[in-house]
Structure 1
Amino acid sequence: MGRILYGKIFLMSLFFGGMQVQAQSDEIVMKKAEQIVTRNEKLLENSNQLLVVYNDVAESYAAVFVAFERKGSNWIVKEGPVDVGIGKNGFALPLEKREGDGKSPTGVFRLGKLFSYEKQQNTLLENQQTTADDKWIDDPNSDQYNRYVQGATDAKSYENLVLKNDAYKYCMVIEYNTNPIIKGAGSAIFFHLAVKKPVFTAGCVAIDETNMKLMVNWLDPQQNPMILMGNYGVLKNGL
């Protein structure tokens, strides 16, 4: 593992239930992010773009986001730290995420397709403009579980990819439980917009629109972008 070099650092603090969660100094936050990357380096060998999302209290939905870019043997900070929201019940332990538990999964996952309300021109990501026909199946009993579906489905439960609010205005797939798909292990884990306060989700990662746009414009599938997410106490020792 090379050094962590601090390039551009952009800090935006969100308020979670009236409490500003960026209580620690940026220096402490970044040292923790650096430690997480260092301890998990072997899992990141094929990636040159990395999003790190962690919390300090496993059960808390208040988390921190930092984006890194690999330059040679070094990881350079691209954006962050930024306060983000995760599952309302925090992070599940590795391999313990379950459908409906209100937790975000722990692990290293590829970043996949971008769904958006408007067609995106300034991105290298595979992207699709969504319509009312677009769905993501979260019914564990369906053969389409944790899959994108357009049009009719016999699934009893699914996420509409066009909502009445802007949460899915930008909606990037976090490839958790996608290959293979284990029924009941969790579905529809996205990186999407934060649209309400307090900022928590059913298991996704939610970020402000300014920083989301930066990521949409920066991420490149050729760089194998990944997201490393979990509780600091778990990630600091390596997965």
Structure 2
Amino acid sequence: MPVLALLAAALLTGCAATTGSPAGESSPTAATPTAAAPPAVGAPGNAATGNGAPGTGAPGVESTTQGRTDAGAHPGTPAPLGNLGPRTLALIPGNARQAVVVTGKGRDANRSEAVLYRRTASGWEAGTVWPARNALNGWTDNHLVGDLRSPIGVFTLSDAGGLLPDPGTLLPYDESPGFSISGTGFMGEPLAGSFDYVVAIDYNRVPGTSPLDWTRPLGAYRGGGIWLHVDHDGPTQGCVSLEERHMRQLLLALDPEQHPVIVMGDAGSLSR
């Protein structure tokens, strides 16, 4: 294996990783990147604040060692917002005006639904319900490399990219051959095109960098490369996937000036 390809395989710990890759974790099974990417495919990041490090996220909100936002209540947050419970609602930063709510069908299920909400003076307005997929084994509130579960929490959405040209998003967008992928997933489905469009979920990553950045502030063992990406008709290793047309719609809708976040987890966990 060429040195660059070997390096890429060793660094991929997220959606582009595979069970055959050295630290594979957040996406399909037998994925093998076809191009040497910068540091690593996606990095899980930081919750709706930062990355588990104070001062890296939304103003006035501290992140926890989980990479999630502080649980302090935000009285100004209008409700309802999906079927989110008070504990989950309290994790949403007060300045967030867009929220992608991904609700899993069960703790161990890999099918889910996604809705983009917009915060207005009168409350949260819901968009269309989109079918989504998550990790093979479902969800966890303590994500670790290789557990094949998606992390539960509230995380900021700050950076995007993909193999295809920028469709017109307001988010910083990294068009790169590093988003190339081949191989097959858990159901034997082809993975090609899965990273045509991605949005990095700020779990264990540094916001303001390409989704391909491999920095893991919480440590490599906490996983990385947790993205929103194009559905490949099968469960992921940790990411959330949407149909390509819905990924395009999401990219066109997200606005960094609105401080977008993603709220993700199984229905039971999010209702608390």
Q: 2:231 aligns with which of 190, 194, 198?
A: 194
Alignment of 1:223-234 (within 5 A): 223-234=258-269
Q: 1:117 aligns with which of 157, 163, 185?
A: 163
Verify: 1:2 aligned to 2:20, yes or no: no
Counterpart AA for 1:35: N
Q: Matched residues in 1 for 2:249 and 2:105: separation? A: 25
Q: Matched residues in 2 for 1:168 and 1:188: separation? A: 12
The equivalent residue for 2:137 is 89
Verify: 1:215 aligned to 2:257, yes or no: no
Q: How many residues are matched?
A: 176
Unaligned runs of 5+ in 2: 1-76, 183-191, 207-216
The equivalent residue for 1:8 is none
Once the two structures are TM-superposed, the CA of residue 181 in structure 1 deviates from its matched residue by 2.5
Alignment of 1:55-66 (within 5 A): 55-66=104-115
**Gap change, CA 1:121 and 1:58, over 3 Å in 2:** closer
Q: Matched residues in 2 for 1:123 and 1:68: separation? A: 17
Once the two structures are TM-superposed, the CA of residue 193 in structure 1 deviates from its matched residue by 0.4
SS in 2 for 1:112: strand
- Give yes or no for contact 1:68–1:79 (8 Å, CA) kept in 2: no
Q: Matched residues in 2 for 1:235 and 1:173: separation? A: 21
SS in 1 for 2:241: strand
- Give yes or no for contact 2:157–2:200 (8 Å, CA) kept in 1: yes
Verify: 1:177 aligned to 2:225, yes or no: no
Q: Matched residues in 1 for 2:79 and 2:136: separation? A: 34
| Structure-2-length-normalised TM-score | 0.61
Once the two structures are TM-superposed, the CA of residue 79 in structure 1 deviates from its matched residue by 2.6
What CA RMSD, in Å, does the superposition of the two structures yield over aligned residues? 1.7
- Give yes or no for contact 2:163–2:180 (8 Å, CA) kept in 1: yes
Alignment of 1:61-76 (within 5 A): 61-76=110-125
Unaligned runs of 5+ in 1: 5-32, 135-160
SS in 2 for 1:83: strand
Q: Matched residues in 1 for 2:103 and 2:262: separation? A: 11
Once the two structures are TM-superposed, the CA of residue 73 in structure 1 deviates from its matched residue by 4.3
Alignment of 1:2-41 (within 5 A): 2-4=78-80, 34-36=82-84, 39-41=87-89
Q: Matched residues in 1 for 2:218 and 2:180: separation? A: 24
The equivalent residue for 2:47 is none
Q: Which runs of 4+ in 1 moved over 3 A?
A: none
Deviations 1:192-238 (A, max 9, x none): 00123xx210000010011111101010011111100111111111x
* Identity score, percent: 27
SS in 2 for 1:119: coil
The equivalent residue for 1:50 is 99
